[in-house]
Chains A and B, each alone.
Chain A
Amino acid sequence: MARKLLLDKAHVPGITTYDVYRREGGYRSVEKALKSMSPDQVTEEVKKSGLRGRGGAGFPTGMKWGFLAKPEGVPRYLVVNADESEPGTFKDRYLMEFIPHLLIEGMITASYALGSNRSYIYIRGEYVWIAEILENAIEEAKANGWLGKNIFGSGFDCDIYVHRGAGAYICGEETALLESLEGKRGNPRIKPPFPAVKGLWGCPTVVNNVETVAAVVPIINEGAEEYAKIGIGKSTGTKLISACGNINKPGVYEIDMTISVEEFIYSDEYCGGLPTGKKLKACIPGGSSVPILPANLLLKTAKGETRMMTYESLADGGFASGSMMGSGGFIVLDDSQCVVRHTYSLARFYRHESCGQCSPCREGTGWMEKILWNIETGKGKLSDIDLLWDIQRKIEGNTICPLGDAAAWPVAAAIRHFRDEFEWHVLHPQEAQTRNYGLMHYADPIHVPNSVMA
């Protein structure tokens, strides 16, 4: 059984209430930080833990906190990113729904480290009931003295507010999120300046993912060294993975980053394998934006090494033969699925979610969607495949924010690894309507050991 640091108590009955949470050892990290540590010591501890941002980019959290500008007399803000809109990702929701006080606790400690007296949770608008759960938790925490003025005589003031978005994936991008929090359209800002210097209302701001902030709790409680012992290399601690698609046990799993992809998919502790009779065709291991991998490159790297569920191993091979940890949205496709259709659906998503500010993304995403629809419905040409490649290439890296890249990568990876499937659609327009291309060489070539079979 893997070590759990975030969700170990998530299923204790009544854990959403303050009393039970506190009885189970909740808010110890706040006590420890406020009573025995300086804000810089907390930041130092987070640095030493090796914690990397859980929102997608994997940027070292302690380093990010260290960049925060601290001009005299200017407020600083912590904003928690609970926008969670990347297809395949539903881990933050799980954490907030089942153990909301963990996020509040982490926020108080993080706010103390950063000197934020007013911290916000930006939650996607559709999570109406979760916003209510969080507001209750905040109220309870405040009633028990963990929020408000001069918390436990420490001289530190802190309040937390929930701000609901209103339906826009782009507001997960941190500067679009800040615009949205300021009551504007979610147009990403042109950087520099970075939020660490000019963020919310022009003040220095740190934006962190829900899971990142929650991870501060075990780091402070157990100490950075203990935390860093878990995992491999620069992938320290535990990671929430939300698994979905064609698997027996979709859901949110907390893994320590020492297990293999194969174990994650086939072991009963996690996804429980694919439905009977289905074979693994492909997987998008880190949310819709990261490259899709065919089964044979997923379970083993191009070098033939076992692929592990770590930042480094998932990225092994670069974009040529690897992918990314991303947001931990693990999407599995079995052999009855069509990669072209799936890629089309993602292209439609990015077209729908582009803010429309910059021309490559605004125009390119819609163009790719239309071409993919043509190919999927038997109206495509072979030259369309090269055209798609050229369009994604001209979007990538040329836009204001990474949504452009996020729209380009899935298309690029699908063509890179499944080109013959695209060609088959073009060459067999009738057949493509009635049946799937099938597995060809993609299928999981690896014998699945009985020990981990569902």
Chain B
Amino acid sequence: MSLRFSDNKLKEVQQIIARYPEGRQKSALLPVLHLAQQEFGGWLSPETMDYVAGLLQLQPIEVYEVATFYSMYKLKPVGKHLLEVCQTGPCMLNGSEAIVDYIYERLGIRPGETTADGLFTLKTVECLGACGYAPMLQQGKHYREHLTREKIDQLIASCSGQPASAHH
């Protein structure tokens, strides 16, 4: 399979490049990688990264260097729903460890693991800038804040109910 952005997305790439002065298209790398991750299965395969390198006229290694530096880029496939629980100090003061434990109780996965059905991946992450709304987790684009057991239950129910369709 040779992968390619849709024409619409290619237009978006052009718009991103246009945010930077001429000849500075390397600056578009972070946003284009976000786009690629969203479009091509929720993670960045070497093939995806090579494609991005081609689009921005970069050496593939320049893309690998960047993709491996930032924690939001996933270099391995993840479950359909990625739950990233903040574990840093302020969240810990408000019970983030209990949230991680409760997710294990419900789904049987520890941080770094994916459920057998491929629906959920659990990760612990560092401060997401929501310390006042702790404990919290990030799910895709969304922050789920002031977490309780009930909220985790609801979250799991709503995710499990959805048909397994495209990523958001």
Contacts and interface: CB of A to CB of B under 8 A. Distances in A.
A251 B130 CA distance: 10
B94 interface: yes
A168 interface: yes
A244 B91 CA distance: 9
Interface string A325-336: 000010101000
Interface in B111-146: 125-134, 138, 141-143
A182 interface: yes
B93 interface: yes
B30 A165 contact: yes
A242 B69 contact: no
A317 interface: no
B24 A182 contact: yes
Contacts of B28: 183
Interface stretch (A1-9, A83-91, A107-115, A399-407): A83-91
A182 B33 CA distance: 14
B26 A183 contact: yes
Contact of A167 (B65, B70, B89, B142): B70
B155 interface: no
B30 A166 contact: yes
B42 to A, nearest CB: 14
B163 interface: no
Given A88-B89, A167-B72, A181 B27 contact: yes
B36 to A, nearest CB: 12
B89 A166 contact: no
A124 B65 CA distance: 19
B93 to A, nearest CB: 5
B21 interface: yes
Interface residues of B, number: 42
A165 B70 contact: yes
Contact of A87 (B56, B66, B72, B88): B88
B40 interface: no
A223 interface: no
Nearest to B70: A166
Interface in B60-87: 62, 65-66, 69-73, 87
B110 interface: no
Interface string A365-387: 00000000000000000000000
B24 A201 contact: yes
A87 B94 CA distance: 13
Nearest to A346: B89
Contacts of A348: 87-88, 126
A333 B94 CA distance: 10
Interface of A: 75, 84-90, 93, 118, 124-129, 161, 163-169, 180-186, 201, 242-246, 250-252, 284, 288, 329, 331, 333, 337, 341-342, 345-346, 348-349, 352-353, 355
Q: 5 shortest A-B CB distances, which residue pairs?
A: A166-B70, A167-B71, A183-B29, A167-B72, A250-B132
